[in-house]
Structure 1
Amino acid sequence: MTRTSTATPLAPHPDRLFAADPAARTVARTVYQAVADAPIISPHGHVDAALIADDQPFADPASLLVTPDHYVLRLLHANGVGLDELGRPDRSGDGSVPDGRQIWHRLAAHWDDFAGTPVRYWFETELHDVFGLTEQPSAENADAQYDHLAELLTTPAFRPRALFDTFRIEVLATTDDPTADLAAHARLAADPSFRGRVLPTFRADAVFDPSRPDWRHVVTSIGQAAGIDTGTHAGLLAALRARRRYFIEHGATATDTGVLDAGSTPLSTAARERIHTTALLGPASLTEADAVAYRHDMLYRWAEMSVEDGLVMQLHPGVHRNHHRPTLERFGPDTGHDLPAVGSFTEPLRPLLEAFGTAPGFHLGLLPGRLRRSAVVVHRHPGGDRPVPRRGHRLGVVIPARHDMARRADAAYLASLVVSHQLSEEDAVRTAHRIVSDIPRATFKL
């Protein structure tokens, strides 16, 4: 776009996230350039595989960049913008959903509210590097920018598969319901024209917490998908094992689990069956203590299953999901109302790690709270533990921006070790390559 005389330029700085110290900045540039164009391995994400399998054009800029992204919704909603104004349907039936142009105007009017946040960083990178915008969004240029983005999204170069190639994505993991048929994954795997890898990830959070109002429905649906009666806890475990095998057959290498805390104390068979039977009567029949004990035991069983079938166990505890119930009831989940809870790993995970921590092939990935830039992954194996950076993404078009941010932050940290004489520059470059390639491949068994 041609910049008007009153517009604020959109020009991400080439040294963003690097240190102010000239020596450290020079090293950071060298380390970053060594991995800037490396293929992307994304073992944790939320892109719908059908989006890539169908390869249909994106509907409009707002439905791609605003409405489905809970980080964007959180910031806009916190600054007074109603979720119904951002494209989220009101379940009460009141009001109408605005069109994409109106939603984009809301974003542009609140552009300054994103200043200094990771979301602003991601937006600036993708709008400039991917879509070629040269002005920061504003009320004055909102229409022109929307038209520019909308036109690009109609072109072949901005179809999902073309972007997959443009972004140099080698592996992309999705997040999938335990009852999913994984048909889109199967289509991609069988398509000789598609050169990437899109792998399912087994996500069964709802089955862990018997106090959830939908728990009985979830347990029943998993049993139906597996063809196994889940009226007993033993039956539920058998059904989950069967579904995990189904996911493995479709390329899965990992599970993903979000729980309120990392407690992992196991229960006896009798205690598990008693709580399971009680929970099937409904949440009102269950005590809070029993619900917590059941959830902790399920986490222990999850690690047990990972040792058996080899799926990497991703775990991100410490989050109150959908914290604001009125918003959940009105607009559904994933509106940015997940808030961190106070928690720990060391003692809660002791039962699990004492039982399985050194089991050959057991990989446990820890993602504290909602941290998504560089959470700690602990790769458990007989040789010990090693922490490695992880990346996670919600929207496919944001993937390169978030990986770029991670690579720059890694380069900046490695450069600080070089200038403080803790690491040679050559070792820093090798480590950067390991972070973006070797370690995620090994940790996620790719």
Structure 2
Amino acid sequence: MVNSTILQLHPDRLFPSDEKVRAIARNLYQQIKDLPIISPHGHTDPRWFAQDETFGNATELLIRPDHYVFRMLYSQGIPLESLGIRRQDGVAVEQDPRKIWHILAKHYYLFRGTPSRMWLDTVFHDVFGMRELLSAKTADKYYDEITAKLSTAAYRPRALMDRFNIELICTTEGALDTLPHHQAMQGTPMQHRVITSFRPDDVVDASRDDFVENVQKLAELTGQDTQTWAGYLQALRLRRSYFRSLGATATDHGHPTAQTADLSLSDCEALFSMCLTGQSSGAQQELFRAQMLTELAGMSTEDGMVMQIHPGAFRNHNPLVFQHFGRDKGADMPSQTEYVQALKPMLNKYGNDPHLSIILFTLDETTYARELAPLAGHYPCLKLGPAWWFHDSPEGMLRFRHQVTETAGFYNTVGFNDDTRAFLSIPARHDVARRIDCRFLADLVAQHRINEDEAVQLAFDLSYNLAKKAYKLD
């Protein structure tokens, strides 16, 4: 009988149960498991890599920044205040990191069968050398050993980047960010290992409460008259140029839908003026976002930046959590998303331009085979991002491969990106993706649909080469 208190990572985890196919998957995995990690889209804090300071304690690193963790705990009635999540109104929250850690340990069973459990167990086992499962009984041992190790030079951000074999990591910053930490890394070895991505949602989403204020800040940053349509667009071009000067190769757009538009100049000017009043309707705000995706695609044809479109998240679904704690606190939900009609205005205008590169993501898995794979299987400018967010899981990755490969193939996808704030989980997440891809490829080999040499090349491409190519990181 297996000791249920031992933390073990089975070497064949996530591989097929069929012995013959498992052997193929194992062989493929052994050849690619140690490839360098390319993390082309994520949300780690660039300050970590610029300043290279110690991380603090276990709670500060592994609970407070990770909405995957506190989302599950909140779903079971555990108040965010008890987890030390800072409130917008300044109301006191739990400050004792050990007490917060005990809450996670006591409720760790809630994560059974989830990707978070797999990522966390891998971090505990591989990064910190833990050999007992996290529980109420082992909570203090975990907290003390992890916190002690985090205080050492070997656990500083740059040392961990080397240990994790991370060749390059991209952070994501808003259009108004002055990028001080990326500036600080210029002229150092980190300059080409940590780069930024341009996410202009703060100045193109007219539904935001701070949109009008942000457009004015955009003027102050760029010296452009952003009260005019022409000045506003020029200001965005200048910000893109600034981000590119600090290494950015990609933009990112987290719109509620994939809707695009191609309005006349006079209609654009009128719509922009309406949005600047702060009194625009929901329909006008959606039309403005749609027009801006087309405008930003046009800018990508000019400067070559890869465009990532991340639609389909109903942001801040829980108004109480948003009011008390702000954005990105685990209350975002997937929503139904349409692509074929939504993208057509933009594709009509730029879809055949060889200078345009777009990576499409979805939270609506029903669109994989019906819409996304056929689109990417035709338009040269379109590639498909990996299974994302709620679907960044073994089953989600398999569903993605099964539904898109027949129509789009492998080479209209872009490998894997971890899209995480949880720095220590990056190797675990990439390892899951590599194991699942090897599992999928092994099935194709066993069915005599591809030969093993082809599977080896595909495993290399899916783990490393496609991400570098898609994000122009060569």
TM over 0.5: yes
Asked if the contact 1:169/1:196 (under 8 Å) is kept, the reply is: no
Amino acid at match of 2:304: G
Matches within 5 A, 1:418-429: 418-429=445-456
The residue aligned with 1:217 is 213
The partner residue of 2:107 within 100, 106, 110 is 110
Q: Is 2:345 the counterpart of 1:351?
A: yes
Q: Is 2:277 the counterpart of 1:286?
A: no
The residue aligned with 2:236 is 240
Amino acid at match of 2:144: D
The residue aligned with 1:303 is 297
Residue 336 of structure 1: how far off its partner (Å) = 0.6
Cα distance in 1 for residues equivalent to 2:83 and 2:225: 42
Asked if the contact 2:38/2:167 (under 8 Å) is kept, the reply is: yes
The partner residue of 1:28 within 25, 28, 38 is 25
Q: Percent identity?
A: 41
Q: Residue by residue, what CA displacement relative to the aligned partner does 1:255-274 show, whole Å, maximum 9, x if unpaired?
A: 01100100112111111211
Residue 159 of structure 1: how far off its partner (Å) = 0.5
Asked if the contact 2:312/2:362 (under 8 Å) is kept, the reply is: yes
Amino acid at match of 1:422: R
Residue 186 of structure 1: how far off its partner (Å) = 2.6
The residue aligned with 2:59 is 62
The residue aligned with 2:123 is 126
Asked if the contact 2:260/2:344 (under 8 Å) is kept, the reply is: yes
Residue 195 of structure 1: how far off its partner (Å) = 7.8
The partner residue of 1:267 within 238, 263, 267 is 263
Cα distance in 1 for residues equivalent to 2:449 and 2:257: 36
After TM superposition, the score normalised by the length of structure 1 is 0.93
Which SS does the other structure have where 2:22 is aligned? Answer: helix
Cα distance in 2 for residues equivalent to 1:420 and 1:245: 49
Cα distance in 1 for residues equivalent to 2:95 and 2:459: 44
The partner residue of 2:427 within 379, 400, 419 is 400
Amino acid at match of 2:388: L
What residue ranges of structure 1 are gaps of 5+ in the alignment?
Answer: 379-383
The residue aligned with 2:412 is 386
Asked if the contact 1:208/1:299 (under 8 Å) is kept, the reply is: no
What residue ranges of structure 2 are gaps of 5+ in the alignment?
Answer: 364-386, 405-409
Amino acid at match of 2:259: G
Which 10-residue stretch deviates more, 182-191 or 139-148?
182-191
The partner residue of 2:272 within 267, 276, 281 is 276
The residue aligned with 2:472 is 445
The residue aligned with 1:162 is 159
Q: Residue by residue, what CA displacement relative to the aligned partner does 1:414-434 show, whole Å, maximum 9, x if unpaired?
A: 111111111111111111111
Residue 178 of structure 1: how far off its partner (Å) = 1.1
The partner residue of 2:204 within 203, 208, 211 is 208
Q: Is 2:12 the counterpart of 1:15?
A: yes
Residue 91 of structure 1: how far off its partner (Å) = 2.4
Asked if the contact 2:170/2:196 (under 8 Å) is kept, the reply is: yes
Cα distance in 1 for residues equivalent to 2:415 and 2:77: 34
After TM superposition, the score normalised by the length of structure 2 is 0.88
Amino acid at match of 2:437: D
Asked if the contact 2:7/2:130 (under 8 Å) is kept, the reply is: yes
Residue 360 of structure 1: how far off its partner (Å) = 1.5
The residue aligned with 1:331 is 325
Which 10-residue stretch deviates more, 285-294 or 120-129?
285-294
Residue 204 of structure 1: how far off its partner (Å) = 1.1
Residue 333 of structure 1: how far off its partner (Å) = 1.1
Asked if the contact 1:185/1:199 (under 8 Å) is kept, the reply is: yes
Cα distance in 1 for residues equivalent to 2:443 and 2:237: 46
Q: Residue by residue, what CA displacement relative to the aligned partner does 1:230-255 show, whole Å, maximum 9, x if unpaired?
A: 11222111100100011111110000
Q: Is 2:140 the counterpart of 1:137?
A: no
Which SS does the other structure have where 2:174 is aligned? Answer: coil
Residue 73 of structure 1: how far off its partner (Å) = 1.6
Q: Residue by residue, what CA displacement relative to the aligned partner does 1:376-424 show, whole Å, maximum 9, x if unpaired?
A: 9x9xxxxx97123331222211110111111111111111111111111
Q: Residue by residue, what CA displacement relative to the aligned partner does 1:264-294 show, whole Å, maximum 9, x if unpaired?
A: 1211111121122122222xx2122222211
Cα distance in 2 for residues equivalent to 1:287 and 1:57: 47
Asked if the contact 1:202/1:247 (under 8 Å) is kept, the reply is: yes
Which 10-residue stretch deviates more, 18-27 or 82-91?
82-91
Cα distance in 1 for residues equivalent to 2:311 and 2:321: 22
The residue aligned with 1:435 is 462
